[in-house]
Amino acid sequence: MSNSVPDSQLGLTQSEIQLLRQHQQIALSQAGSSSTRAASQSSQGRLLLDPTSLQALSAHFDRLMYSIQQRWQYLSQQTQTATQVQYDRAGNAIQNAQAQIDRFHAILREIDELQVEFDKVRRIGEIVKGFKSRVERLERRI
């Protein structure tokens, strides 16, 4: 038993001990260790300290850390991509909104210009009516 230590003496929480036990079993199975002693030690809540078991556990955790790092990088990239898409959409929305505002202002300017023209035509119409009524009065006199 000198090649093992109780996993409860490692200063880990119960859930961390359970996780360590699971990973030690996985590491031993991946390393091809068919030792019944290794499986027995692990199932009895002891961490094996022999070089082969520790090397298998270390390699397993290295692979696990690499896998986690790859997943983190992938998610980070996906987050950046999604953020950029939203930023681009927001930029496009702002540009579209600005274009519509500019169009609205142009329409308002045209309406103002038409109002001015309408006022001119109305004044001219009133002048014409005034001339027409003068002409009619002059015709009646003649």
Whole-number pLDDT of residue 41: 55
* In the predicted structure, residue 1 carries a pLDDT above the cut 60: no
Residue 18 has pLDDT above 90, yes or no: no
Is residue 48 pLDDT above 90, yes or no?
no
Q: Which domain holds residue 16?
A: 4-141
Q: Quick one: average pLDDT of 92-98?
A: 95
pLDDT of residue 133: 92
CB 17 within 8 A of CB 56: no
Q: Which residues pair with 6 in a beta bridge?
A: 46
Burial class, 105, CB count within 10 angstroms (exposed 0-12 / middle 13-18 / buried 19+):
exposed
pTM of the model: 0.54
| Number of domain units in the chain | 1
